[in-house]
Amino acid sequence: MLSLILLSQAWRAFRLDEYRPSVPSELFDRKGRLITTFFQDQRILVKEQDIPLELKQAFIAMEDNHFYEHFGLSPQGILRAFLINLQAGQVKQGGSTITQQLAKVVLTDQKRTFTRKAKEAALALIIDALYKKDRILYLYCNQIYFGHGTYGVEAATQFYFDSTVKKITVAQAAILATLPSSPNRYSPLKNPRLSHVRMQHALMKMVDLGFITIVQAQKADEEARMYYSTLNIAPSETAFGRRVDHAPYFSEYVRPILEKEFGKDALYNEGLKIHSGLDLDHQDAAQSALWRGLRAQNNISRNYFFSKQLELSKQYAPLLTLAQFAMNLPTLDPEKRYSQYEMHMEFFDDFIDPLELVNLGFGGNEVLDNFLVSVRVDNPFANRYLAVQGALVEIDNATGEVTAVVGGLPFNTRNQINRALQMQRQPGSSFKPLLYAAALETKKVTAATQFPDSPIVSIDEQGDLWMPENYSAGFRGFITLRDALRFSVNTVSVVLAREVGLGNVIPTLAKELYVTPNQIPYNLSIALGTYEVSPLGMARAFSHFARGGESIEPVLLTKVFDRNKKLLKDFTPKQKREQIISAGSATIVRSLLETAVNKGTGRSVRSAGYGGYAAGKTGTTNSYRDAWFVGFNKRYTSAVWVGYDRPSISLGPGQTAASVAAPIWAHFQNKVSSTIQHEDAYLKGGGVTKVLYCTTTNQPAQESCAEPYTELFLEGTGPETGNKMDLRENQELMPQTPIAPTKPTVHTKDFYEGEDE
């Protein structure tokens, strides 16, 4: 019977050769740089030759003085522990050697029972017979728990000292050596005084064993005193809490994807090597540019919000009086000259609840309802005022790799919505290039076709009116499609959709957005960007203009390997190169977008200091609720969105995309320009004919033309064949003529505004 038990324990000991400790999985960017790690227990394996002698000696001094002399068990330690436990009537002290501790944490359960101690002792004897002492100590150093979620000497050194085990000092080694026996009690974070006393004990034992001199111990103690006096890590901190994550919005988005594909156990314990399309240079630039822009915009929009609240407070003074009387509240005179902030604070703290009740009971109006809803929104700024949020996402036109993802203000426990990938909002006028491309595909219009910029009235079956307006509140008469996009003229977009036919453009729009046609409302308002799209969806759609109309599949993850470098999965899609729009249409729209940046509503990109190649479009929705800029350089397409999480809240009067989103995009381009200057450009086109046009006449240029420019046409649609649609001859579309919808529309009262010129 005894021989069977010994054989069983020997077999368990042999498992040390197959032992696979839990190792965090690592997420890398496309250049092989670490983004973050995924783990439950933080363990970083260190090579045997990289464990310093001082650290080994510290463990021997504190845990097993006769480690190199005994055969796996310490008779003196066992006798001492036996007497203490016998007196206590339970297991109070272990007396375990380093070999026994290794057997306990690796090969047995860790319940404090006499049966487990017997198994542990038998395993220790066998392990000592099978393995060299240095091998046992190496396994111990990589396995033992050091508190605060750290396992192994490397993870512990990084957590406690922000260093690596290769550079460990005698003082640091002594501190670590005190932790295995009771990580919680001797934690330098939780009990610095007790930890220091215990560390001094470790130094004295190292001196007694001849590992260090008294002088070395004194220097180590001085170093330790400095460490404890400057220690500023919270006692509740853990390895997971201090985990470095250079792209939290991205890593938290791919985490569930990886969990589903490989399982939680593999992701958190098997040391997967996960490669992605992210580029940390672009990611850092995106975070810097967006957060800088959002901080500035918060200052502007917060003042507008306070002003609006003060105005409403005064407007509803009678209702406040009623609330005071009904609820026995302290007197608040809205007519007093409160500062905006003081008025906001007092109003928010004392009056918002009763005012909402009174408004509900006595029939307040819609304006007040919207106001009450807006001030109820949770906000990151100490729950006192709202925060403007934003998103920035970038995609590589050549590979489809998503190289930057920022989903909002800095990621934290209260701000985790990935607005770049998971949120959909109305893109406003930034949607117009997609409509223009779809219209060009019909070959019924060209970039030089002239359209009437005039009032439009649409009447639905219930008799309600819809009147799209231009930002400038004026009209230009007949203008070309190029100038219509340049100045972001809303009326022309509606006329374009109306005359080309929604039924002719929606299928192409659906292809551009990778949705089905029935998902896009058969409604003229889509011409002004009322269909909701994510920032990644807009970037993907605009990439067609850089790719010559070819489709693209966004690439978040590329390849995943196991800890032995074996390929587990290749996520990289095979780009099918489907032609979403013709190369000619893509080339023409790209030209229109270049004009929009250089001479139109997007020229704030230039005034913000970006001088490189750019093609893009601004987009501002009704009442300045959303601000967009979507555009591309010679290699990458990126989208910027700015707004509040609650769509009903305005950024403030005059806060157009040109002043809000475009500068963020420009600052981002300035930051990444140095990193992409040596990369190959990726702008594809073709399928067009070029004709010299005259700026003043919007007709083919004559020799007398003072301002000629090159206009692009799809083959077969140039001036030599005649414009396919001459709207000057269509008297039904002359100014002041209402346009009825071609099909019953979804009613909207919103007037979607274009950009400030």
CATH of the domain at 339: 3.40.710.10
234 and 323 in a single domain? The answer is: no
Q: Collapse the DSSP code of 112 into the 3-class scheme (helix H, G, I; strand E, B; otherwise coil) and give the result.
A: coil
More confident residue, 55 or 371: 55
Whether the pLDDT of residue 728 is over 60: the answer is no
Query: Residues 86, 204: one domain?
Result: yes
pLDDT at 23 over 50: yes
Helix 153-161 to helix 170-177 angle (10° resolution) is 110
Of 242, 257, 276, which residue sits at a domain end? 242
Q: Are residues 146 and 56 in the same domain?
A: yes
pLDDT average, residue stretch 660-687: 93
433 found inside a domain: yes
Q: Is residue 735 part of a domain?
A: yes
Which residue type sits at 195?
S
- Helix (H), strand (E) counts: the chain: 25, 20
Whether 451 and 344 share a structural domain? yes
287, part of any domain: no
Q: Which long-range CB contacts under 8 A does 567-576 form with residues at least 24 apart?
A: 568/262, 568/272, 569/261, 569/262, 573/400, 575/400, 575/551, 576/551
CA angle in degrees (0–180, nearest 5) for 678-680-685: 145
Q: 539 and 652 share a domain?
A: yes
Mark whether 174 and 80 lie in a shared domain.
Answer: yes
Percent of the chain with pLDDT strictly greater than 90: 53
Q: Tens digits of per-residue pLDDT, 254-305?
A: 999 999 999 999 999 899 999 999 999 999 999 999 999 999 998 888 777 5
Q: 39-43, 288-292, 611-615, 682-686: lowest mean pLDDT where? A: 39-43
Domain containing 155 equals 40-242
pLDDT of residue 319: 61
> Quick one: 215 and 318 in the same domain?
no
Residues 235 and 327 occupy one common structural domain = no
Distance from C-alpha of 552 to C-alpha of 750, rounded to nearest angstrom: 33
pLDDT at position 316: 55
Note whether 237 and 309 are same-domain residues: no
314 pLDDT exceeds 60? no
Which runs of E-coded beta strand occur in 507-585?
A: 557-561, 567-570
Asked if residues 292 and 588 have their Cβ atoms less than 8 Å apart, the reply is: no
Chain segment 623-656, per-residue pLDDT in tens? 899 999 999 999 999 999 999 998 888 898 889 9
Rounded to an integer, the average pLDDT of 52-61 is 93
pLDDT range class, residue 729, cuts 50, 70, 90: very low
CATH number at residue 116: 1.10.3810.10
CA distance 431 to 440: 15
Confidence of residue 232 (pLDDT cuts 50, 70, 90): confident
- Sheet of 699-700, strand order: 699-700, 688-694, 708-714
Give the model confidence (pLDDT) of 183-228 as tens digits: 999 999 999 999 999 999 999 999 999 999 999 999 999 999 999 9
- Assigned domain for 266 exists: no
Confidence at residue 76, expressed as pLDDT on a 0 to 100 scale: 64
The last residue of a domain, from among 223, 242, 261: 242
pLDDT score at 115: 61
Task: Report pLDDT for 306.
Answer: 55
Number of domains in the chain: 2
Provide, rounded to the nearest whole percent, the portion of the chain with pLDDT above 70: 75
First to last CA, the chain: 93
- From the list 25, 26, 54, 63, the catalytic residue is 63
pLDDT class for 98, splitting at 50, 70, 90?
A: confident
Residue 298 in domain? no
Return the bridge partners of 691, or none. 711
Could you read off the pLDDT of 507-565 as tens digits, one per residue? 999 999 999 999 999 989 999 999 999 999 999 999 999 999 999 999 999 999 999 99
pLDDT of residue 327: 61
The pLDDT of 166-195, averaged and rounded, is 93
Q: With respect to residue 252, please indicate whether it lies within any of the assigned structural domains.
A: no
User: Residue 683 — very low, low, confident or very high, per pLDDT cuts 50/70/90?
Assistant: very high
Q: Identify the band that residue 756 occupies on the pLDDT scale cut at 50, 70 and 90.
A: very low
Number of neighbouring beta carbons within 10 Å of residue 182: 13
Nearest partner of 405 among 252, 542, 541, 223, judged by Cα: 252
User: 342 and 226: one domain?
Assistant: no
- Mean pLDDT, to the nearest integer, of 243-258? 94
pLDDT tens string 319-373: 666 666 666 655 555 444 344 444 444 555 555 556 556 555 555 544 444 444 4
Residues 627 and 702 in one domain: yes
Indicate whether 177 and 313 sit together in one domain: no
Q: What is the pLDDT of residue 322?
A: 65
Q: Label residue 67 by pLDDT band (50, 70, 90).
A: confident
Name the active-site residue from 187, 251, 429, 525. Answer: 429
- Is residue 568 in a domain? no
What's the pLDDT band for 44 if we cut at 50, 70, 90? confident
Q: How much is the mean pLDDT over the chain?
A: 82
Give residue 740's pLDDT band: very low, low, confident or very high (50, 70, 90): very low
Structure tokens at 38: 């995924």
Q: Domain ends where: 216, 242, 268?
A: 242
Whether 267 is covered by a domain: the verdict is no
Query: Catalytic residue at 63?
Result: yes
Region of poorest pLDDT, from 151-155, 609-613, 640-644, 676-680: 676-680
Whose CA is closest to 664, among 646, 645, 638, 625? 638
